[in-house]
Amino acid sequence: MAQVLDRQSVAANGETNGFTVVGQSTKRVDALEKVTGRALYAADVSPPGMLWGVFLRSPHPHALIKKIDTSKAEQLPGVLAVITQESLATDQALVVEEEMHATRRVQTLFAQDKVHYEGEKVAAIAATTKELAEEAADLIEVEYEPLQGSGHVLDSIQESLPVINEGTELLDAPADNPWGVTKLNNVAGEHHSVEGDVAAGFAESDRVYTHTFYIPRAHQTYIEPQVTVADVDVGGKVTVWTSTQGPFGVRSNLANSLRLPTNKINVHGMTIGGGFGAKFGGIVDTYAVLLAQKARRPVKMVYSRHEEFVDGRPAPGAHITIKTGVKNDGTIVARQAWALWDTGVGQGGGYATMRTKGVYNVEHFKFDAFDVNTCKPAPGAYRAPGAPQATFAGETQLNIIAEDLGIDPVDIRLKNMREGDQIAFKETLQAVADAAGWADRTSGPNEGWGVAVGEWTNGAGPGTAVVSVHDDGSVHVFSGLMDITGTDTAMAQIAAEVLTVPYDDVTTVRGDTDSAPFATGSGGSVVTFSMGNAVKRAAEDAKQRLLELAAEHLEAPLELLELRGGAVVVKEKPDESVSIAQLAQFALRERGGPVMGKGTFASQPSATTTAAQIGKVEVDPETGKVWIRELYNSLDAGKAINPMASEGQMEGGLVQGFAWGLMEAMHYDRDGHNLNPGLLDYRLPTTADFPDIASVIVEEPTKNGPYGVKGIGEPPIAPGPAALASAVADATGKWIMELPLVPERVYRATHDS
Amino acid sequence: MAQVLDRQSVAANGETNGFTVVGQSTKRVDALEKVTGRALYAADVSPPGMLWGVFLRSPHPHALIKKIDTSKAEQLPGVLAVITQESLATDQALVVEEEMHATRRVQTLFAQDKVHYEGEKVAAIAATTKELAEEAADLIEVEYEPLQGSGHVLDSIQESLPVINEGTELLDAPADNPWGVTKLNNVAGEHHSVEGDVAAGFAESDRVYTHTFYIPRAHQTYIEPQVTVADVDVGGKVTVWTSTQGPFGVRSNLANSLRLPTNKINVHGMTIGGGFGAKFGGIVDTYAVLLAQKARRPVKMVYSRHEEFVDGRPAPGAHITIKTGVKNDGTIVARQAWALWDTGVGQGGGYATMRTKGVYNVEHFKFDAFDVNTCKPAPGAYRAPGAPQATFAGETQLNIIAEDLGIDPVDIRLKNMREGDQIAFKETLQAVADAAGWADRTSGPNEGWGVAVGEWTNGAGPGTAVVSVHDDGSVHVFSGLMDITGTDTAMAQIAAEVLTVPYDDVTTVRGDTDSAPFATGSGGSVVTFSMGNAVKRAAEDAKQRLLELAAEHLEAPLELLELRGGAVVVKEKPDESVSIAQLAQFALRERGGPVMGKGTFASQPSATTTAAQIGKVEVDPETGKVWIRELYNSLDAGKAINPMASEGQMEGGLVQGFAWGLMEAMHYDRDGHNLNPGLLDYRLPTTADFPDIASVIVEEPTKNGPYGVKGIGEPPIAPGPAALASAVADATGKWIMELPLVPERVYRATHDS
């Protein structure tokens, strides 16, 4: 049964569920170095002799390249490398072959005969200063012949539009598609799924609703832009210092794209200033290495914020039509979705249309989704990829239905939610409803309430960790894990818990890929689940070794020993004990082995968790401005290793979701020009845009997570847009199905009626 | 039975003893980075904001300090830290307490009330430039009151000399001592050993010989001086980049001396430019950390060559009287030794007097040895510590006896050498005699031949290594092992041998102490024996995992599988196989574990090895100048993993030993002033001083070494001084018992007669 905890109750409770360190809101292990500015980020790395690398980019969303002339740039003193797609094939210093690089869609590293989006890379330059490199970029002469572009999926699918990616063929559109076409142009991928029989389902429904939703591209807007410093030694060994969520993934990418043996690449994952899914390599690292190979000097490349917007890998936009059949009592019978995902020059993401099903029992479910090319950069992962888009459609429509049926939106969810082993959807929703006082909620003039839920099942990546006990009793947790969200702190807590030592006696150390065993990348909410298991097993392995050493040292049978308070004690004779420091000394000096435990986690499944959110808004009827007045959220963490950190995840995800609903959007004109490539025009929320957030942690343990942990990074971003739009509808009586809910859009919606 | 190999036979033989990679003279793994100057040494590390640290040192060998005034230095702009012994006790930024630092003898980090040797540290200063720091050092006012010093052990032991180290008490001298004293002053340590009854032994001998030998202090003269860069982060975590043979030892030293938990210290052992025993920490690292703690900035300290000579930790000098009783047929019956070891202000080393016994059956053996303080820095380890000194006495006297008895010096050794399991003293001596054509040797005018043997039993330090197999089949060997002599190459060979992959597919990676498991320090000839075992076991562990994965993958019984040519093959069905790359992919993607083997070596004993050397010299009768004309050496390597590297060890050790006999010596006046503190006056050999060297590797395997390896770093330095002095005696008829054999000494010996 789920247990509901709030922050205060955890903090007040010295021991939680019999645990000493796990479940405590300990100070983050990286707190001091971060607040004092001593943490080292990739841009802080400057090897001797380092050059700066920059890109030359296309100014056109779609154009043919007639000529590229780099000769003037190459002659500029201080310029040590100029690379284009052509030089990759001809330059002996470079080893790349065209088909070998790694992005989601096979495309060349640089544009050669054609550019497909504004900002596409045409050349890379390394010079002794950044200014010189930029000057050299200006000296490269590129002759373009502009083509008609496309900035929207509804344009791209038209037969009249040019093909953006060569080789893409016209597809037959689904017979019942909502887009009024028979053929689909510019489709890069398709995804279809059927459960039951939706036609039969709609036939047996009392009412059937169809709505169309649009959610724009959003950028992950991590604080630290993409950055890599690369060096190549005389033996060809590549070393990179980079901002990444997964150094081992970066190593694999580079090995594939540069055709190097894995052991000739060492990746240092430096302190990371946010990633949210976008930092798994390929955006700058490959290029920095190529420039370093050619220039035979270290090269630093740091994206500008402008480059982030024109050539990042943001979340895809989605145009989703959703049709739902229900009984009059609110029972969902059937649901069908058609979706066009704005995947720029890339592909992938459309399968997330699956999430329109939500956490509900839906007997008949079907979707047809297409990844559609536009003249924009390929998309990437952004926290719970595809979930906010699909959830916006599914959850908003459910609220429309509830309103139409006169059923409370919380009740309609409780009625339809799935139940089962290790899941606590209803308890989680009920927890946030209780926290918000949902049953007794009141609204003043122009105020309204909205509720929505999101879901996620964390992945489970393979990885290994090592826990060492030193001869002074201090403990190391060593792995290749990247800490984005405080996971190092959780790892230290887990090791301290197993080894019964104070939290402060444990340090976590991140190795580069040369030194650390393989660790899963930090994405998909896998870390605390997967690496937490690896660390727990490593600590247990070390504990077992300590017990065996103690049996020898104390001349006592193993089964009578227990580890307690940092010492091994004979159970019935508390006087007979030996500290783990003494055991580590004994091990090292007399038994030859340091006390070092190894733990590996493979790939066992987790269970689905849900995040439920309630917001109260006020809408200014004069301007359409939406103020968020109250925010409540709950999340089933399985087990919160560090409640403060879990709450941080919940609040961060919630803010990103609500902001995507309220203000965040990448705007493009019809050809594909990016209209707001910077933080001046791309609105990000500040603390002034948000009220205090009340968070409730629910704990329904998984079988396979350490202490029952579920991955919690993703789910809190999903419900926000739907909850916000529903609250605005509650306040204004208008359902707005295109995001974001900027004042102009709300004003028009409420004044056009 | 021993097998005699020479370099050619190994190189010509594609497979040696059934091995593919082990036994091959492969290219060193670090060859490219070293010859191109890309290898990073500690002095190459310059963190942002780094300061330079320098020392203020005593100009007097022995003096009272009346006053130290640092105020002017502290006021110099750009000076960020000035530390004296007094400030250690009072400065809140520093945590050292007087008794807690780590040198062999408990002495304070800095001189406070008294200086005990010229060059003793009085203060340390950190400033923004080295020049500023030196200027600040000049501004520190120290008032000295000079005392009588001592530069020789025969002076120090006299009751009339002042006590150098406070608290040292007068000792009763052994009754039969050769120094003519009844009390011993300034003794810092004593060592005694008795086997049998020497008095009885001398009584039953046909002849008894007594001689006294003197061998001066020699400096290890590694190419790279002592150097450390230290940084301390806001949480107090210490990071050092240093030139050391043992990063884990440095970590322990710092933890003890600075009272920090082990996991708050990270030591990067950088590429090392030689150590020879002198680089285990304490000389600069502690001070660099203290300055960094006080200045709150990174600090670099690099010893000058002058500092190396006045405040390094060189080999102790030794004054050894040795008495041997033999039968007329050359059988050694009894041997007794009395030794005074020049241990400066430190102690330790005197126990090496044990080595005067050599590799011989000596029924009655006794020694009394004393560590004697002089006004010089404490001694340290230098390759086979104490062995060249003791071997000079024991082996030279054996040659004198052979000459007196009219027995061939090779024959008298073969007659007395011990035999037994895993040892091959006679075979090794015979091998070098055969190589030199000893039986048929001829001498021209002023020419002579000398032979001597040395011995060593390698230590066995604990340590762990990790071997990973990547998903492209490439292999990593990871440990905290410092490579001084090519051991990384041997580790790669061992891993390649076990995993049946090409040598080039293996890379060795050194971790810092935060990332690597505990490794034994690289000293005492332990590395290839101890860490070689750890690597072999780690590779075998990985191999076992590969076989288990293959059993699953091929659906074949484990016992029918074998690893061959980088793939697991079903024994009877060579068509059924799976490469280790495929297995690593399978493991990672479907079984969740990277293929990572762990191997730990504890502390099993090795067996004694011997180095035998023969030299032919020519002596200029006009000047006393000695030319070395021919050199032959043999060594029982147990198993030479890399014959070229083994030969390098043999040649390097031989040259150091002969050079100590011929020219190397630290000269002091009677007060203790160092008379040759620099490489202009401290003569080191060049290639012009040595002929080609012929090396013969003997292989009598040990049970516990990997593939039978014995540690071979130490023994080749031991025989040189005795072999050289004996050859000079053969050429001149004069036995010179005081080293080095510089022209003046040889001239006087040959002209005073």
Neighbours of A207 (CB within 10 A): 14
A350 CB-near residues (< 8 Å, 6+ apart):
A189, A190, A191, A339, A341, A343, A369, A370, A371, A386
Q: Which of B32, B468, B600 is facing A592, going by the closest CB pair? A: B600
Q: d(Cα B631, Cα B614) in Å, to the nearest integer?
A: 6
Confidence tier at B349 by pLDDT (50, 70, 90): confident
Share of chain B above pLDDT 90, in %: 89
Q: d(Cα B487, Cα B643) in Å, to the nearest integer?
A: 12
For residue B91, pLDDT beyond 80:
no
How would you classify the pairing of strands B626-636 and B693-699? parallel
- For residue A270, give how far its alpha carbon lies from the nearest alpha carbon of chain B (Å): 15
Residues of chain A with Cβ-Cβ distance to B600 below 8 Å are: 592-594
- What is the greatest pairwise CA distance in chain A? 87
Residues of chain B with Cβ-Cβ distance to A462 below 8 Å are: 588-589, 591-594
Phi and psi at residue B696, to the nearest 5°: -125, 125
**pLDDT on residue B108:** 87
Taking CA atoms, what residue in B is nearest to A248?
Answer: B470
Residues A165-172: what's their mean pLDDT?
A: 93
Q: Which of A32, A234, A255 is facing B235, going by the closest CB pair? A: A32
DSSP B484-532: SSSHHHHHHHHHHHHHT--GGGEEEEE--TTTSPP---S-TT-HHHHHH
A473 CB-near residues (< 8 Å, 6+ apart):
A501, A505, A566, A579, A580, A581, A584
Confidence tier at B93 by pLDDT (50, 70, 90): low
Q: d(Cα A387, Cα A453) in Å, to the nearest integer?
A: 11
Residues A507, B598: C-beta atoms closer than 8 Å: no
- For residue B471, give how far its alpha carbon lies from the nearest alpha carbon of chain A (Å): 8
Please name which of A437, A603, A443, A463 lies closest in space to residue A520, comparing C-alpha atoms: A463
The H helix count followed by the E strand count for chain A is: 19, 29
Residues of chain A with Cβ-Cβ distance to B462 below 8 Å are: 588-589, 591-594
Note the pLDDT tens digit of each residue in B300-335: 999 999 999 999 999 999 999 999 999 999 999 999
Note the pLDDT tens digit of each residue in B254-285: 999 888 999 999 999 999 999 999 999 999 99
How would you classify the pairing of strands B506-510 and B475-479? parallel
Residues A398-402: what's their mean pLDDT?
A: 98
Please name which of B631, B742, B618, B623 lies closest in space to residue B690, comparing C-alpha atoms: B631
Structure tokens at B122: 């009085």
For chain B, the first-to-last Cα distance in angstroms comes to 48
Confidence tier at A18 by pLDDT (50, 70, 90): confident
Beta bridge partners of A671: none
Asked if A275 and A243 touch (Cβ cutoff 8 Å), the reply is: yes
Instruction: Please name the residue that has the structure tokens 């060249």.
Output: B388
DSSP A417-438: B---TT--HHHHHHHHHHHHTG
Note the pLDDT tens digit of each residue in A262-272: 999 999 999 99
Taking CA atoms, what residue in A is nearest to B49?
Answer: A38
Burial A343-354 (b: 16+ CB within 10 A, else e): bbbbbbbbbbbb
Residues A255, B592: C-beta atoms closer than 8 Å: no
Asked if A649 and A458 touch (Cβ cutoff 8 Å), the reply is: no
- What percent of chain B is helix, strand and coil (3-state, nearest 5)? 30, 25, 40
Note the pLDDT tens digit of each residue in A192-238: 999 999 999 999 999 999 999 999 999 999 999 999 999 999 889 99
∠ CA A694-A700-A704, nearest 5°, is 130
Which of B231, B251, B259, B263 to mutate: most A Cβ within 10 Å? B263
Residues A514, B478: C-beta atoms closer than 8 Å: yes
- Per-window interface: B 226-245 vs A, CB < 8 A: 233-235, 237
DSSP B320-389: EEEEEEE-TTS-EEEEEEEEEEE-TTS---GGGGGGGGTTB--SEEEEEEEEE--SSPPP---SSTTHHH
Q: What is residue B401's DSSP assignment?
A: H
Burial A625-657 (b: 16+ CB within 10 A, else e): ebebbbbbbbbbbbbbbbbbbbbebbbbbbbbb
- For residue A538, give how far its alpha carbon lies from the nearest alpha carbon of chain B (Å): 13
Helix (H) or strand (E) holding B193: strand B187-195
Q: Is the dihedral of CA A483, A484, A489, A493 positive or negative?
A: negative
Amino acid at site A132: L
**pLDDT on residue B38:** 87
Q: What is the spatial order of strands in the sheet that A63-69 belongs to? A: A114-115, A63-69, A141-146
**pLDDT on residue B10:** 36
Asked if A318 and A191 touch (Cβ cutoff 8 Å), the reply is: no
Which of A93-97, A284-288, B591-595 is predicted with the least confidence, judged by mean pLDDT?
A93-97
For residue B105, pLDDT beyond 60:
no
Burial A160-185 (b: 16+ CB within 10 A, else e): ebeebbeeeeeeebbeebbbeeeebb
Note the pLDDT tens digit of each residue in A492-548: 999 999 999 999 999 999 999 999 999 999 999 999 999 999 999 999 999 999 999
Q: What is the spatial order of strands in the sheet that B299-302 belongs to? A: B79-83, B121-127, B51-57, B299-302, B227-232, B238-242, B265-269
**pLDDT on residue A97:** 43
For residue B106, pLDDT beyond 70:
no
Give the count of Cβ contacts less than 8 A between chain A and B: 139
- Per-window interface: A 254-293 vs B, CB < 8 A: 255, 261-264, 266
Q: d(Cα A390, Cα A356) in Å, to the nearest integer?
A: 5
Which of B259, B268, B514, B531 to mutate: most A Cβ within 10 Å? B514
Domain annotation for chain A: domains and CATH numbers: 1-17+408-458+607-753 (3.30.365.10), 460-601 (3.30.365.10)
Q: How far is CA A411 from CA A51, A433, A462, A729, in A?
A: 61, 10, 40, 18
Share of chain A above pLDDT 70, in %: 95
Q: d(Cα B685, Cα B693) in Å, to the nearest integer?
A: 14
Residues A262, B472: C-beta atoms closer than 8 Å: yes
Residues of chain B with Cβ-Cβ distance to A589 below 8 Å are: 462
* A32 near B CB under 8 A: yes
Q: Which of A252, A518, A593 is facing B602, going by the closest CB pair? A: A593
Residues A516, B515: C-beta atoms closer than 8 Å: yes
Asked if B298 and B247 touch (Cβ cutoff 8 Å), the reply is: no
**pLDDT on residue A10:** 36
Please name which of A22, A7, A9 lies closest in space to residue A705, comparing C-alpha atoms: A22
The H helix count followed by the E strand count for chain B is: 19, 29
Residues B234, A36: C-beta atoms closer than 8 Å: yes
- For residue A357, give how far its alpha carbon lies from the nearest alpha carbon of chain B (Å): 29
Confidence tier at A93 by pLDDT (50, 70, 90): low
Phi and psi at residue A66, to the nearest 5°: -95, -25
Share of chain A above pLDDT 90, in %: 89
Residues B235, A591: C-beta atoms closer than 8 Å: no
Residues A474, B593: C-beta atoms closer than 8 Å: no
Residues of chain B with Cβ-Cβ distance to A509 below 8 Å are: 266, 514-515
Note the pLDDT tens digit of each residue in A305-334: 999 999 999 999 999 999 999 999 999 999
Residues B515, A478: C-beta atoms closer than 8 Å: yes
For residue B753, pLDDT beyond 90:
no
Residue B98 or A602, more confident: A602
Q: Which of B233, B518, B590 is facing A33, going by the closest CB pair? A: B233
**pLDDT on residue A594:** 81
Q: Which of A32, A468, A517 is facing B596, going by the closest CB pair? A: A517
Asked if A345 and A381 touch (Cβ cutoff 8 Å), the reply is: no
Q: Supply the pTM of this predicted model.
A: 0.88
For residue A451, pLDDT beyond 60:
yes
Note the pLDDT tens digit of each residue in A519-528: 999 999 999 9
- What percent of chain A is helix, strand and coil (3-state, nearest 5)? 30, 25, 40
A734 CB-near residues (< 8 Å, 6+ apart):
A728, A746, A749, A750, A753
Note the pLDDT tens digit of each residue in A405-437: 999 999 999 999 999 999 999 999 999 999 999
**pLDDT on residue B18:** 82
Note the pLDDT tens digit of each residue in B528-582: 999 999 999 999 999 999 999 999 999 999 999 999 999 999 998 989 999 999 9
Asked if A258 and A238 touch (Cβ cutoff 8 Å), the reply is: yes
**pLDDT on residue A105:** 39
Residues B33, A234: C-beta atoms closer than 8 Å: yes
∠ CA A311-A315-A321, nearest 5°, is 135
Cis peptide before B740 (omega within 30 of 0): yes
Q: Which of B472, B509, B517 is facing A594, going by the closest CB pair? A: B517
Asked if A392 and A358 touch (Cβ cutoff 8 Å), the reply is: no
**pLDDT on residue B602:** 84
For chain A, the first-to-last Cα distance in angstroms comes to 48
For residue A241, pLDDT beyond 90:
yes
**pLDDT on residue A574:** 84
* B505 near A CB under 8 A: yes
- Per-window interface: B 583-602 vs A, CB < 8 A: 588-594, 596, 598, 600-602
HSE, side-chain direction, 13 A CA sphere, residue A316: 34
B318 CB-near residues (< 8 Å, 6+ apart):
B213, B214, B215, B339, B340, B341, B342, B349, B353, B386, B389, B390, B393
